[in-house]
């Protein structure tokens, strides 16, 4: 029997609510040592994904819109714990006002619980992504990353 998403997925998934401010999203990503997380509603339905790339885009957009004092958000670019140092209070306040729903990538590449691992690897490769969400009826059940597939290869599984 072929391995499926159910067999390999991580069922404990860090998620972000759609109203979570970007400043908080950044702190969660850094604290968890991850580069992205699913955005889900209160019932666990997947709304989208927010990644470090989405945060960088939002930061760039904010810097370009209405700030006379352009600040380079070096801490975010490096994902260091010193993010926020040297940022104007106005800029930090604006990041606190932007919800994840405005910066996230809508929708997500997802697979079902019984999707074979080979199909998951193919999906990740053709979409050039490093994570897929495992969903059942639109509700998040788990996540599978490229590292999970590499670990499988490391074990010598077919």
Q: How many CB atoms lie within 10 A of CB 104?
A: 26
> What was the pLDDT predicted at 105?
92
Whole-angstrom Cα distance, residue 111 to residue 124? 10
Which one, of 132, 150, 154, lies nearest residue 6 by Cα?
132
> What was the pLDDT predicted at 107?
83
* pTM for the predicted model, two decimal places: 0.77
> What was the pLDDT predicted at 97?
87
User: What domains can be seen in the chain, in order of their start residue?
Assistant: 5-154 (3.10.580.10)
Interstrand relation of 131-136 and 46-51 (parallel, antiparallel or unpaired): unpaired
> What was the pLDDT predicted at 140?
96
> What was the pLDDT predicted at 153?
87
> What was the pLDDT predicted at 20?
97
10-residue averages of pLDDT along the chain (158 residues): 92 96 92 93 94 86 51 44 52 81 92 96 94 94 94 79
Whole-angstrom Cα distance, residue 5 to residue 69? 48
> What was the pLDDT predicted at 72?
40
């Amino acid at each position: 029997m072929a391995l499926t998403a159910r067999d390999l997925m991580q069922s404990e998934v860090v998620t972000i609510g759609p109203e979570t401010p970007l400043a908080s999203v950044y702190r969660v990503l850094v604290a968890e040592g991850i580069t992205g997380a699913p955005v889900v509603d209160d019932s666990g339905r997947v709304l989208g994904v927010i990644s470090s790339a989405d945060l960088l885009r939002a930061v760039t957009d904010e810097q370009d819109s209405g700030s006379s004092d352009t600040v380079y958000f070096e801490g975010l670019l490096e994902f260091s714990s010193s993010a926020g140092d040297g940022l104007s209070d106005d800029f930090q306040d604006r990041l606190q006002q932007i919800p994840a729903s405005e910066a996230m990538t809508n929708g997500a590449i997802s697979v079902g619980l019984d999707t074979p691992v080979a199909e998951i690897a193919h999906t990740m490769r053709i979409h050039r992504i490093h994570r897929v969400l495992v969903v059942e009826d639109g509700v998040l059940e788990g996540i599978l990353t490229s590292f999970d597939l590499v670990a499988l290869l490391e074990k010598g599984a077919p």
